[in-house]
């Protein structure tokens, strides 16, 4: 049996497709990757030419542009990139983000190169992709992923602008850029913030929480987080600081640090940024066996590292009541079945970690419109609020307290608008998934419901496009 990441994603797709009455051939068209470009290119560094291998997969361009990150990692391969591109297609559909799915990767250990060398490699890779149409503000838009961030996105955007200086929308060729380079405030935190909003929405439905064997709200729940990169850190920070979740363990490759009273996430981040390790963090107890901590008893397990972390080899030992997939594909298809049989509630990746692509959508819109959010109406909102306060004061004969007046008078900043849009998107998407989950007998879990949500939207797009002669009702 094929146990690759891509095979696991496809089997989850097939399980959902089997609950629908899709026209012949449509499921295969949706599932298969449209195109994969493999690039081998040379870069002159350290006195000689070095050859690098990278990929850009476009899973679906039923909507344009295709959207998906670029990761830099020494374990990247084509199977992984195709699987991640497929997840992006389904993720965008679930969230009602009008993109197709894509993904890119460069087989490289970014820590093995200087910043100057890495910039040279990144720009060369960007040139290779853009000349073949795999980077374009209207066709294919990358974003950060594992091993990349705003810095790399700025290099890619700059390389594209150099190659296409007359494209007035060139800055929209990539998202996740620094704020001073066409980026948008809130993008760096977006995936972690989306996980917070997604879990908040779930805990608004007591019957859903009960299915996980839990009660009450997020406050006081014990969480274990695997991975302390951008996603894991922000997720841990927001849940602990704003929702009262006790993060009792953080797991990384070197091991895990635990504290039953709850780790100080800010202190751990500062410790790591200062060159410290989990082993030397004074606020927790270190164990080298991170795999055992993954299996430890807790309320919420949040795998925020890489794919295939929970497999047939450890699924039966997972004790968490609720598993929130912050990473892409952390649970294999077989493990998913084992966990379901044990009554575990899984919040799937194609919904829960979609905050990044949602805010990338906002950034892309901002770049195309050439205006920041709030520029046209913020002062108008402040003026209206001021007039309402004057009206209240004149009618009551009382003065509104200065602190309250200040809060009411402030118009929405861009970050306020971004967070509002993200929270609304996460909440609406969960309710849509939940409705399918509870209303159709053939759907027994949130993951299948999320896939069905995506499939129905994509299938309906094809059914309503004359170029694709499908006419059968998909239900």
Residues designated as active site: 103
CB 263 within 8 A of CB 284: yes
Q: In this structure, are strands 35-45 and 48-60 parallel, antiparallel, or unpaired? A: antiparallel
Give the tokens for residue 20: 């629908």
The answer to whether the CB of 163 falls within 8 A of the CB of 137 is no
Pull the structure tokens for residue 330: 């952390």
- Diameter of the chain measured on Cα atoms: 80
Burial label for 111, CB within 10 Å (0-12, 13-18, 19+), is exposed
Neighbouring CB atoms inside 10 A of 21's CB total: 10
Nearest to 358 by CA among 123, 91, 151, 132: 91
> Which H or E run includes 101?
strand 100-107
In whole angstroms, give the CA distance from residue 400 to residue 330: 52
Number of H helices, E strands in the chain: 17, 13
Q: 5 is written with which tokens?
A: 């990441």
352 in helix, strand or coil? Answer: helix
Under 8 Å between Cβ of 367 and 171: yes
């Amino acid at each position: 049996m094929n146990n690759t990441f891509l095979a696991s994603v496809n089997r989850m797709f097939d399980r959902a497709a089997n609950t629908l009455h899709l026209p012949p051939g449509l499921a295969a068209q949706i599932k298969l990757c449209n195109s994969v470009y493999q690039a081998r290119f040379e870069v002159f560094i350290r006195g000689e030419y070095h050859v690098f291998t990278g990929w850009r997969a476009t899973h679906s361009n039923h909507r344009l542009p295709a959207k998906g990150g670029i990761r830099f990692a020494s374990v990247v391969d084509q199977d992984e990139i195709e699987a991640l591109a497929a997840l992006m297609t389904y993720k965008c559909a679930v969230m009602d983000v009008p993109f197709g799915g894509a993904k890119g990767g460069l087989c490289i250990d970014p820590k093995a190169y200087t910043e100057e060398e890495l910039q040279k490699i990144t720009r060369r890779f960007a040139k290779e992709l853009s000349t073949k149409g795999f980077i374009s503000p209207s066709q294919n838009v990358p974003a950060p992923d594992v091993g990349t961030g705003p810095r790399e996105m700025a290099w890619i955007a700059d390389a594209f602008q150099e190659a296409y200086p007359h494209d007035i929308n060139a800055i929209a060729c990539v998202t996740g850029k620094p704020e001073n380079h066409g980026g948008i405030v809130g993008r760096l935190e977006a995936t972690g913030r989306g996980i917070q909003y997604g879990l908040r929405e779930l805990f608004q439905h007591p019957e859903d929480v009960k299915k996980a064997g839990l009660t009450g709200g997020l406050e006081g729940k014990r969480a274990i987080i695997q991975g302390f990169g951008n996603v894991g850190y922000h997720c841990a920070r927001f849940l602990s600081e704003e929702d009262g979740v006790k993060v009792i363990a953080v797991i990384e490759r070197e091991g895990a640090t635990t504290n039953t009273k709850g780790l100080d996430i800010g202190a751990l981040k500062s410790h790591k940024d200062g060159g410290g390790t989990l082993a030397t963090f004074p606020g927790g107890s270190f164990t080298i066996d991170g795999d055992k901590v993954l299996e430890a008893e807790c309320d919420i397990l949040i795998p925020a590292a890489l794919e295939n972390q929970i497999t047939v080899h450890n699924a039966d030992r997972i004790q968490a009541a609720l598993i929130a997939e912050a990473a892409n594909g952390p649970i294999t298809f077989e493990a998913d079945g084992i966990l379901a049989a044990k009554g575990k509630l899984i919040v799937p990746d194609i919904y829960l970690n979609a905050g990044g692509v949602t805010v990338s959508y906002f950034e892309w819109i901002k770049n195309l419109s050439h205006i920041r959010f709030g520029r046209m109406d913020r002062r108008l909102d402040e003026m209206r609020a001021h007039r309402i306060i004057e009206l209240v004061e004149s009618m009551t004969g009382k003065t509104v307290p200065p602190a309250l007046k200040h809060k009411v008078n402030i118009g929405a900043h861009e970050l306020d608008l971004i967070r509002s849009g993200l929270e609304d998107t996460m909440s609406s998407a969960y309710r849509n998934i939940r409705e399918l989950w509870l209303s159709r007998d053939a759907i027994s879990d949130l993951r299948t419901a999320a896939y069905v949500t995506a499939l129905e939207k994509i299938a309906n797009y094809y059914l309503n496009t004359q170029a694709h002669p499908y006419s059968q009702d998909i239900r």
